[in-house]
Structure 1
Amino acid sequence: MPRSASIPPSSIPLRLRHWRDWQSLLYLATLPLIVLWQWQHGWVWWLYAVELFLTLGVGVIHHNHTHLRMWRGRHSRWANRATDYWLTLLQGHPTFVFWPAHVGNHHRYRHSERDIARTYRFGGDTNHLLGYLAHPLQAAWVLYPLFIRWLGNLRRHWPGAFRYCMGQYGLWLGSWAALLLIDWKKALVLVIIPQLHGLHWLLATNYLQHAHADGRRISRAQRDTEGSMLNYARNFEGLVNPLLFNIGLHTAHHERPHAHWSELTELHDRIYRRRVDPALNEGGLLPYMARVFLGGLVWRSARSRSLMPPMEKK
């Protein structure tokens, strides 16, 4: 076969797009096993702690799978759809929402004034504990009308895609109803509360990664006179990345949204770390939260500084 000839995707056996996605599959398999064990044998505090952590992992896997589908090759379409439904079941919310809210809105507008869930839309340009706790509710308030409009457009123009999304709602709500009927206390403690915990982090991550960053849309021609084009996101370089699929390396992800998550470390180290304001390159996520959200309640020096010009904070 000539080198220029391409291999049809249908002739490639079904396989993971990248071998590092075995970590994703491990998380997706371990979470329901932990829930099932506790459902049968009783609540165990350290298993519950692992479960809560894995709900964060499911949210990040959902994010990564939206940007770059996990499966490729023969029957990959069905494998990716099955993964969507599995994520919906584990996450407690349909996976389709990431497309209009994250790809169509957040990645398109990059925390600018057209990003409907921008952190400085709600109560000004803040970065403190109350803003962090309130942001998931504020974001959900403005995002759900977006989902409704998007679904209405699907129903009118792409009824098959609309039914696919409605199937996710049916699976999510049906699973909650069935578990609540079987044992409402176990369902609440072992399934629903952990899923809500994961959804909190899924939405609150936007605040962690963008609060006090510069959301202005700066053109390349303006870059040298008005500052970096890349100061719209904060990066975390600590243990969060090997545990949660490099979710802390946010600038590299925004600039290369179709890169596999395993490639972000090299992109961050080689290109993006030196090109953003040093204040946006943090170490560990938890030390940052302790310093800014808790220490900032007492010491002014622990607080972050906004990179937004006053006239842009709206």
Structure 2
Amino acid sequence: MELRQLKYFVEVADKQHFGRAAEQLFISQPALSQQIRLLEENLGVELLDTTARKNYRKVKLTPAGEHFLAEARKLLLQAGRLEETTRQIARQNQVLRLGVYKALLKERIVEFIEAFSRARPYTEISIHEYDNYLEVQDALLDREIDQGLTLYPVIHPTLKYEILKTGGLSLILSKNHPMAGREVPVEHLLKNGKWIELSRKVHPVYKEIEDRCHALGIQRQIIQEVSSLNLLISLVGLNNGIGFAPSLFDFSAEPGILVKSLENTVFGDIRICHILART
């Protein structure tokens, strides 16, 4: 005896007509009749009055059928409750391990979490922070996290992703820098500034910056390459040099530096991407 057979029997009893019941169940009438016969054979009793159906083309329950109908309704109701409560428990126990590049603007992270929570309200989000954008990708490959929020480019071909936001470059310099209170063309700074730069390995647009400088005929004076944005900001704050950083980054907690937007200059776009999963 199967749950679907109980459902079929209850529908036939409710509609008191095989054709209408079959239409409601989206199956053929012969298939429905066969399932009811199999149910009766399995039980070894007659649930529908054969004489009434044969002579008067009516659906009439036998006494055993009346009893079976009442109990079948209870079982289907219990099965539905069991299915729903099981799903609820599974949803409540779901946890998404979200890896984020911690330099990103907090608003971007909050926006993503709010949108995700609206779509999957029963899923808890556990946030894992990483020091550079490539570490998020590596963590996903190593299955330390389930999804990621980081910067483009995605260097691993087995990762699926979508672009969420696009930004440009900002110039960061110490508040004590001689140029801090002046508007200076970026070309002048490229020619004459002492630069602290993220290393090529962890820089999302290192090549685009150098290509632009080459097109302008400028050889930048890079006095230090560092492996993290935090170190870059610290050295800039000490007035050791100036630097570039994506405008999508959060500089609100850095009191010693000034940030100037360079989004109108021709450098590569900086993009926040949501890494979905491994393919």
Q: What is the TM-score with the length of structure 2 in the denominator?
A: 0.21
Asked which structure has the greater CA Rg, the reply is 2
Q: Which has the higher helix share?
A: 1
